[in-house]
Every structure is written in structure tokens, then in C-alpha cells.
Structure 1
């Protein structure tokens, strides 16, 4: 990780500009789009990036976490805006490289890495990693030795406590993520590395999906204090302090990105007190984001396959379900989903002639096409009168949509993925899965 990367200067220029107005959560539907289809708007990605950069302290680096949406077009535009890539699997590494991200701009993370994963990343030129344990440090050191290279790593930390306002707390309990802060403090010699892999920084990610600015500031402030304590315990210069993120975003419902107008000033004060060399990149400060950068860029389009009455309730069957959105519902991470009515082909939600979209009816059970009763988005959705063939949309699905779902379950085709920019379709493709012979 180089402290003089020119993208740092471009990020600072972006942050100097005032935050733009929020981009609409849903854009126009490309004519003739088959369903199911995810539509990603690159203009919304740029808008979200500008907003987030304007609320981060400078100088700082921003990583894009590919787990939110690894589509190459999305990754590419964020890299051109100055984001480095944070990946945690061979598939995400391949997506970043396909998108044009150089290996020198990739951070390879994850609590468990196979030897072949490390070998593939090293062969591709990746030299920056995050590790979570003493074993992980030794594993990386041995892998780097086999390749005849030297690499740096960020030591991920699991501090005590938690963060209020978090959608999901990442640390403070027994966890695969990170080494316990107390053990690092008491036994720093265990964590500084070997001949081929040496510690270059700390990686903290306390919580995610925090929409309240004060709560987010508390979480990042806690991370800064932990970093200060461990920096002193390690007793050697560190190049990077990665404070993670936690930036919230609406998911699969109407809504705008939260605003954090006072965050940069608050973080600057924390950093000046705890890490006084940070303004001179000693150490450099980094943040990560996935959902904030991409959530509002996406919408999922789906058509009604069937409408019927069952035991006194209206049941609506769609051509998509938990195989394409909401597969993480089994992990209790997804609320009921209530799509909006777009109408028949070519009809918008405000079309005055759309009579079936204005007649109120009782709530509907909203189901997908899978042969399991688990494929249910909502048991009581306030849909108007609709008919087979009608088009619905789920807004704000640019993050944790297709790639967080059960796309292989029951073998339905993956949805189309359409990328637009300024209302123009720039790419349209579909994931396919091919069975190949084993080694």
C-alpha cells in the first residue's frame, strides 16, 4: 500500500466539493428488459461515492468491499473514482482484476484462507492482506516464502464491547473475525510477523449499517482508541490504520442514503489526539464501504406469474424470489420485502390509465417460483390489484442483492444484470454456472 498513490489526491478533491443531492432510489426501466433483472445505475454509484467522500476526514483512503456487489462495471467505476478494492475470496479477486483494478490496489481479507487462495492471490501480484490470527500470520509467511516475495498485512482486531445503533455488530464476542485486542496488547511479539510477512497496520471493523451519525462516530471513535493502544503496544511504525466502516443504507425499500455532515470534523479531532502523524500518512488512515456506495444504484425487476386466492388470502407468485434476493433471510438479516408496482410493459407507476394499480385490496402473500414454502418475501404485502404479466420492482437492491442470495438453489437461471449510465444501457449480461471436472 503506497502512501503517495495519486488517487489519494483525487479523493481529497472529491471530498472538498459539497455533497450532491441524493440520487433517486429508482431510475427508469430500460425498454424491453426481460425479467427477472437487476438494473444498476452508475450515476447513482458516483453520487453515493461523492457523498461519502465529502464526509470522511482527509487525507484518507477508501476501499470498496466487493461483497456488496462484485459486478465488474460497478467495481470499475468505483476504482476510477479512487477506491481500492477489498476482496475476501478467489471469486472477488477475479472480479476486481476483470474490472481493471491492479493487484497493487487490492487488499485480500477474510478470517479463513486456503493455501491455494493465498497462492492464487500472490501469483496475481497481491501483496496486501489482512489476517485474523497467529496461525494466519504463519500461513501467509510460508506462502510468501514459497513465492519468494515479501508481503505486508493488516492485523484484524477483535476488541471488547460493541457499537450502539449497529445493524450488525462485528466484534466484542467470540468471533472468527480478528485477534483479541487484549492478547495483542499483552503479547505483541506473537503478531508482528516473520521473514516474508510483516505487520504493516491494523484492521478494525466494529459494526455495520449504522444510520445515525452520533452512533457511527462513537463506533469509529472506539476503533481509533483501540488502534492507539495497540499501536503503542506493538512499538513499531505502522503504515495503515484501517478503521472499517459501518455506513448505513436502505435495503430493498424506498429511502435515501443517510447523511453524516459532522463526521469528518469529529473524526479529525479523534485522529489528531490518538494518531498525531495521520495527516502525514504516519500512519495512513483508511475506511471501507460496500452498501453505502452501491445500495441505491440497484433495482430488481420482476413479473407476476400468477395471482390466486388460497384459504381466503390473495397469493401473488413472481418470477423471482429468495434465489435472487433475500437468500440471507435464513440468517435473519432480511425484513419482509414489499416491491412497488411498475405496471405492464412500458407503463410507469404514475400512469393515469393504470386502473389495476389503484384499486385497494387486502394484503397479499408474496411468493417466488421455488418449490419450497420458504420462498416467501412477505406474508402481508399491501399490493394493489395486479395481474399476471404486471411488472414490479424492488428498489435499493444494488448491495447484497443477487450475490447474497441462493442463486443455485433449484437451478433457475440467474437474473439478467443490466448496467445503465445516464439512462443509457452500457452493459447487459447474465451469470452462468458450468460443471467442470475436478482436479
Structure 2
């Protein structure tokens, strides 16, 4: 371990782009979330937000309850195992589980899956039977209605996610009869990034109500009830995580009414969270490469683009990022913050307030602990991945970088890939 005093010092030592993850902020977010939830609630951490081994390990270790891993790929499973999680603690989710992935997960010891459809449940059962085991499964439910008015809605419409709630009663015998599986609970995830506590509370109350109805339709008691999440945190701009101080008081009476034994663990209550747990732990440091003016508009070019801070850029979003420099407080002017890639889509912020920047200045983008490198276009143009540093109390605990390893494999006529390519690209932490 080594010490540092400023972000500029870290940038000088390790180069930029550089993600800095503060373990003390991870501790604080985890403590807040557990404190605001009903007593005894389990929290699944969604690895899609940030699978960095040090970050994941921090959410497992330390004081207080550990978060459990929620994964959607064998790559995320490998990250969970590397961080010290037991396979039995893992929840494997996602609408596109392939037979190969399911075989690998079951062979590794994963026994809890979220099933998105009857056929998905059957595929899980086939993988379990091949290993001579039985998989515990949650039925993911796509509610026909919802109450949320903020955030990204995940239900209430035709979607690849979940089983339409209105079909459960008719399909119940089929769900319960799939060889190699036992239906042990429900998985309801209806929204993402709900900034309003009242809206989030209303949606979770709706999930509890729906879960009680579906339990009756299935005719079997639930052992695990995952009511989802939607806990909000800012992304790439100044601001604080949302607070939910009234959540416990609102949810517990509903649970008492609908699931009288939930305090005894029947069912075990669970939620899931990604960005809320890790979002404000991260700061992206990037260096100004050039400043230019084109037809009266100023462009600040930095070495971190959508290949570094893509934030699922395939959705076509341009985020209103905010930056600061040390010392802060400099006057600002309108300019566009752009990356180094040779595409006009490499835009981090268009006509945003920026301080007067010069080549060589290091700027910090706050609240970048979620949806950073692994949600970005890392392979585009073959530029190096950003470094990632985990720090605590002024000490650098670790520094790593994802390395791009290009493997060319002759597949032959019978084994060619679906897109006709002759090779595969793999990424690994190095």
C-alpha cells in the first residue's frame, strides 16, 4: 500500500484515464441501504454496475451484513468467485442464459437462478439434471401494472424480462413440474434509478401486493422474495445519493399483512442494487489533450471518451457530466467535453459549464463508480483500457487495468460463429 494526497498525484503516478474507487464510500452506501430497509433484508449487488474485484470484495467484507452477488454471465461469476464469494450465495439472472453458461454455472456450484419464462426454467432444469442436482429458482414476474413515475420502467409492457403476471395462474402447474428445478420464490424488478422516495416506496409496495397474489396462484409458500430495487444515485455529475429514511416504516406493515411470518424468514426478503452501492465511490480522472474553437464553439478534448466512460452509450445518451479541477472554484464557460476517438459520437457533454482548461490539466468527473469501464466501448479503436485504483483513507490498496487479449481461433465450416467472424475477443483483468 502507498499513500496519496490529491487526485492529481494519483494521475501523475498511474496515468490517465484513471478510475479511483473510494472504499469508505462503498462502506457508507452499504450501511445506509441496510439501515433503511426492513430488518433482516438481504441485499443482492448487481455486478453489472461494477464487477471490479476490489469493489466487489469491499461489499462482502468489513463491518455489517455482506451483499450477495447477482450476476448475469459466467464472466461475472468468475469475478464473484475471485472476490471470495461462495457459489451458493450467487443469484444468476438474465433473459439470455445459454446452455453452455448454465452448465458452467451449475458445475461451479451455483444453485439459485431467476427464470424469465417457462422455457428458461426448463433450460435451467436441463443443466441441473445433467449435473445430478436440483436448482432453486425464482420466477421473475413482469407486472401488468406499476406505480412508479420516475426512473426507467422495466415492467408493464411487452418485454424480454420476466413472466407476464396475468399468465401465472394458468401456467402454475407447468412451472412447478419442471424436472431439475424447485420454484422457491419470486423476483420482481420493475424500475431503475427512482429518484423519488415516494415513487420507489409505492412500487415496492405494489411488488409485495403482487407477490402475495402470485403465491396464492402458485399454491406453494415462497422461501425467497426479491422485490427488486431502483435506488438512485447520480451518474457523472455532482450530487448525492438519494435518501430513503422512511422506507422501512412504509414496507414493514405491508409485509406483516401479506406475509405474516416474514420476520422469521418465511419468506426471506431481498432487494437488489447496483449503482446505489457503488456510484458515488468512483471518480474518473482524465487529462486535457487539446482545446480548440470551431466556428465560435469551444471543444475540450480529453483522453477519456465513450471507450472509457460510455455509460451504456449504445443507448444514444449524452450525459450532462460535471467536472472540477484542483483548486476548484474557477469561473466557467460553455464548452463541449469530447473524447479522443475519431467519431462525432465521442461526446461526454455538449455545451456544458466547464472551467477554463488547458492541455495537461487533470479534470475529475464525479460519481463514476457505476457503469464505467465494463459499460463502455473498451475495444473500439484499440485504445488501452483505463486504470482502476481502489483507495481507502488516503492509501492506495490496489491498481489494475483490464487488458485486451485478441485470440484468433480457426473454427472450420461446421463451427463458425453466427456472424461469420474467424475469431473471438476476450478481456481479462491484468
Compute the TM-score of the two structures, normalised by the length of structure 2: 0.90
Deviation at 1:122, TM superposition (A): 0.8
Cα deviation, 1:326-357, whole Å, max 9, x if unaligned, reads 35234145523232223xxxxx436xxxxxx4
What is the CA–CA distance in structure 1 between the aligned matches of 2:293 and 2:41, rounded to whole Å? 56
Which structure dedicates a bigger proportion of its chain to strand? 2
C-alpha separation between the residues in 2 aligned to 1:185 and 1:166?
30
CA contact (8 A) 1:71 1:95 kept: yes
Distance 1:402 1:243 in 2: 28
Deviations 1:281-323 (A, max 9, x none): 1111111111110000001000000011111111111001111
Structure 2: stretches of 5+ with no match in the other structure: 412-430
Distance 1:50 1:210, change over 3 A: same
Question: Is 1:155 matched up with 2:134?
Answer: no
Report the alpha carbon displacement of residue 158 of structure 1 after superposing the two structures with TM. Answer: 0.3
How many residues are matched? 400
- Call closer, same or farther: CA 1:334–1:209 in 2, change over 3 Å: farther
Where 2:234 maps in the other structure, the secondary structure is coil
**Deviation of the 1:280 alpha carbon:** 1.1
The aligned counterpart of 2:210 is 226
Match 1:422 to one of 384, 393, 410: 393
Q: Secondary structure at the match of 1:129?
A: strand
TM superposition shift of 1:130: 0.6
Equivalent in 281, 292, 307 of residue 308 of structure 1 = 292
Aligned equivalent of 1:331, options 290, 296, 315 = 315
Q: Which residue of 1 aligns with 2:337?
A: 366
Indicate conservation of the 8 Å contact 1:108/1:128, yes or no: yes
- Aligned position for 1:121: 105
**Deviations for 1:113-149, whole angstroms, at most 9, x for unmatched residues?**
1101001101111011111001011111111111111
Distance 1:139 1:330, change over 3 A: closer
5 Å-filtered alignment, 1:3-402, equals: 28-29=6-7, 30-31=9-10, 32-80=13-61, 81-342=65-326, 348-349=327-328, 357-358=330-331, 360=332, 362-402=333-373
CA contact (8 A) 1:45 1:78 kept: yes
The residue that corresponds to 2:428 in the other structure is none
Counterpart CA distance in 1 for 2:318 and 2:299 is 20
TM-fit CA distance, 1:110: 0.4
State whether residues 118 and 143 of structure 1, in contact with CA within 8 Å, keep that contact through their aligned partners in structure 2: yes
Q: Root-mean-square deviation (CA), in Å?
A: 1.5
Q: Which of the numbers 379, 382, 407 marks the counterpart of 1:408?
A: 379
Say whether the 8 Å CA contact 1:207–1:245 is kept in structure 2.
Answer: yes
State the shift of 1:276 in Å: 1.1
- Counterpart Cα distance in 2 of 1:434 and 1:234: 48
Does structure 2 retain, via aligned residues, the 8 Å contact 1:122–1:147? yes
Shift of 1:381: 2.0
Q: Is contact 1:149–1:196 with CA below 8 Å preserved after alignment?
A: yes
Quote how far apart the aligned CAs of 1:382 are. 1.6
Q: Is the 8 A contact 1:163 1:169 kept in 2?
A: no
C-alpha distance in 1, partners of 2:255/2:271?
Answer: 13
8 Å Cα contact 1:253-1:337 kept in structure 2: yes
Query: By how many angstroms is 1:166 displaced?
Result: 2.8
Distance 1:91 1:212 in 2: 33
Structure 1's consecutive aligned runs of 4 or more residues displaced over 6 angstroms after TM superposition are none
CA shift in 2, pair 1:428/1:235, >3 Å = same
TM-score of the aligned structures, taking structure 1 as reference length:
0.88
CA distance in 2, matches of 1:73, 1:409: 25
Quick check: 163-172 or 244-253, which moved more? Answer: 163-172
Q: Distance in 2 between matches of 1:55 and 1:28?
A: 33
SS at match of 1:201: strand
Cα deviation for residue 363 of structure 1 reads: 1.4
Do 2:34 and 2:41's aligned partners in 1 also have CA atoms closer than 8 Å?
no
Any conservation in 1 of the 2:262–2:269 contact (CA below 8 Å)?
Answer: yes
